[in-house]
Each structure stands twice: as structure tokens, then as C-alpha cells.
């Protein structure tokens, strides 16, 4: 078993006793599969936007989950790729790991635990994204954190950069414990050593934004390495950058 809330168990996906897969064939009409069709649509739209944003590999490998408001559940992309992800491959999973609706292949199911861990540990989190975005994953493969060397990281809640979680086999107890240990309070992203990137935020919009910002920072860092290396923003200027964006946001849009 894995590590869960407050160091307790973080269970693996399992099939609910009343799952359609455990029921015998019936002549009765099949009921509507999804409890929340709008949320399923939101998951598919989020996957589409992640792919459209470009912070992902060409094969589209990754997964998206969205928390069900007011319930200990999430909807999760169970397909092998986020590119053209089919609606019917979205599954509903309890935050205890129970599979409630749909079919969950073992490879995709193995990473469910890192999604549920982020929801368990961060009550405000409403969306979790996992990708193998190329530049950020290059840092993950090198076991190197991404520093706060471009303004966007300071502006959008990553003034300390993006830490690296030590490697653990896919979805294992070790992997989940390492992710939890590496997450910096208030920082909505972590690199997964030799694997990829995990982003978690209040909404899909913010998670997608942060995923793009992390990939951009990684690309800048790799490019800057050929001309002396990236230079981090001084701490006082990181705070000033955040304050500035808050002031601009408070001022609102100007109209002619």
C-alpha cells in the first residue's frame, strides 16, 4: 500500500462491489454512465487544451483529473494519450482509490495514487495534470530543479522554482512518498525524477497555466545554459514581481 493523508495508506484503484463489471448481464436498459456529464466534458476540454498549449510530448502521454465538488471523487483520463482522448475513456475514481465507473488499464491506473495524494494533501486543489513535457522532463531526467529565472514563475506562484521528487517505480509507495516529500508548500508543481511533471492547482485554467509556465522556464534554462547559464531573479524582486501582478489584476482591464 502507498502513503495517504497524514502518512496513512494511499490505496490503489480497485473495482467497487457494485461496479457494472461485477454485475451479470441484464436485459434491463443500461443506465446513464456518468453521474456528472458536464464534469466529464470539462476533463476532455482540459486534455484538449493541454495538448493545444504544446507543453506535452508529441505522443500526448499524460493524464488529467478533476475533483468532483463536494465529493471524495475525481474524474480521470484513463486513455494512453491526452491527444484526441475519447470521452468514454474518462473514469470516475474515489479519492480512496476505488474505481467507481469505467475501465481503468493497469498502466494508467498505476498513476492514480499520485493524483489522489495531491487531493488528499491539498484541500484547495481541484485539478491535477501529469505530462512528460519535453523541456521540464529534461530537468527531471537530470535530477535538477528548475530555478526561478524567468518572471512568469515569480508571477504565478513558483518563486522558489520547481523541486524534484526522487525516483520511485511508477505508482509505488516509494514514488508517492517521494512526491509528497518534495512538494513545497504553496508551490503547485513538482518534477518527477526520470519520469515527468506533476501540476496541481485550484482550477483547470490555473493548472494549465502553470504547466505552460514550467515548460517555458525549463526551455529558457536549457537555452541559457549555452551562454553562461540562467540567472535567478533576486528574492526581493521575486516578491516585487508577485506584488506587481496583484496590483495589475486589481486594476482590471482598461477600456477606451
- Domains of the chain in start order, with CATH, are 2-14+33-251 (3.40.225.10)
The pLDDT score that the predictor gives to residue 216 is 98
Tell me: the pLDDT tens digits for 213-237?
Answer: 999 999 999 999 999 999 999 999 9
Instruction: Confirm if 126 and 66 have CB atoms less than 8 A apart.
Output: yes
Q: Which residue has the cell 476505488?
A: 98
**178: its cell numbers:** 517521494
The pLDDT score that the predictor gives to residue 33 is 61
- C-alpha–C-alpha distance, residues 166 and 175, integer Å: 8
The pLDDT score that the predictor gives to residue 12 is 55
Tell me: the pLDDT tens digits for 201-215?
Answer: 999 999 999 999 999
Q: Name the pTM for this structure.
A: 0.85
**160: its cell numbers:** 522558489
The pLDDT score that the predictor gives to residue 177 is 98
- Give pLDDT < 50 ranges for the chain: 1-7, 19-31
Amino acid at each position: 500500500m502507498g502513503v495517504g493523508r497524514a502518512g496513512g495508506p494511499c490505496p490503489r484503484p480497485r473495482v467497487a462491489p457494485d461496479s457494472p463489471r461485477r454485475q451479470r448481464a441484464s436485459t434491463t436498459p443500461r443506465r446513464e454512465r456518468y453521474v456528472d456529464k458536464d464534469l466529464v466534458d470539462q476533463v476532455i476540454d482540459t486534455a484538449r487544451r493541454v495538448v493545444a498549449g504544446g507543453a506535452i510530448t508529441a505522443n500526448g502521454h499524460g493524464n488529467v483529473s478533476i475533483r468532483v465538488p463536494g465529493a471524495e471523487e475525481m474524474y480521470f483520463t484513463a486513455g494512453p494519450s491526452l491527444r484526441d482522448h475519447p470521452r468514454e475513456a474518462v473514469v470516475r475514481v474515489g479519492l480512496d482509490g476505488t474505481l467507481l465507473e469505467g475501465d481503468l488499464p493497469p498502466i494508467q491506473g498505476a498513476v492514480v495514487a499520485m493524483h489522489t495524494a495531491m487531493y488528499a494533501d491539498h484541500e484547495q486543489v481541484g485539478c491535477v495534470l501529469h505530462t512528460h513535457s519535453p523541456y521540464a522532463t529534461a530537468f527531471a531526467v537530470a535530477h535538477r530543479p528548475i530555478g526561478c529565472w524567468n518572471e512568469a514563475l515569480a508571477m504565478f506562484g513558483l518563486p522558489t522554482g520547481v523541486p524534484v521528487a526522487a525516483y520511485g517505480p511508477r505508482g509505488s509507495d516509494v514514488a508517492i512518498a517521494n512526491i509528497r516529500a518534495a512538494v513545497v508548500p504553496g508551490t503547485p508543481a513538482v518534477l518527477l525524477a526520470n519520469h515527468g511533471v506533476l501540476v496541481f492547482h485550484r482550477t483547470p485554467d490555473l493548472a494549465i497555466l502553470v504547466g505552460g509556465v514550467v515548460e517555458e522556464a525549463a526551455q529558457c534554462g536549457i537555452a541559457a545554459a549555452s551562454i553562461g547559464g540562467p540567472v535567478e531573479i533576486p528574492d526581493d524582486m521575486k516578491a516585487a514581481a508577485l506584488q506587481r501582478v496583484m496590483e495589475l489584476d486589481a486594476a482590471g482591464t482598461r477600456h477606451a
